[in-house]
Amino acid sequence: MNNKGVGAVFCLIAALLMAAKYLAAAIFMSGISSWSVELFRSALQHVGPPLSIAAVIALVLGIAFLVWGIVQDGNTSKKK
């Protein structure tokens, strides 16, 4: 798999991690009869920052691999 493919996979992982954060907060609030913005924010705080941190790390890695793959493709096309 080339660097652009690896970068795309890391970006997908970042999106899945962010979705998991919001899904976990929604599942945490599933027993509540009335929803509000404040309650959802508190549920997000209850989930905590590890999923967000992992998502940001995966996104940075994904963008880095994408840029590296594009630079490598540019260098190989200049050599021909």
Tell me which residue of 47, 11, 55 sits closest to 26, measured CA to CA.
Answer: 47
Is pLDDT larger for residue 80 or for residue 31? 31
* Tokens at 57, concatenated: 């790390």
Please give the pLDDT value at position 80.
64
Per domain, the residue ranges of the chain are 3-74
| SS3 per-residue string spanning 11-76 | HHHHHHHHHHHHHHHHHHCCCCCCCCHHHHHHHHHHHCCHHHHHHHHHHHHHHHHHHHHHHHHHHH
pLDDT in tens, 34-68: 888 899 999 999 998 999 999 999 999 999 999 99
Please give the pLDDT value at position 33.
84
Please give the pLDDT value at position 32.
84
Looking at every residue in the chain, the average pLDDT score rounds to 91
Please give the pLDDT value at position 66.
95
Q: What is the pTM of this model?
A: 0.84
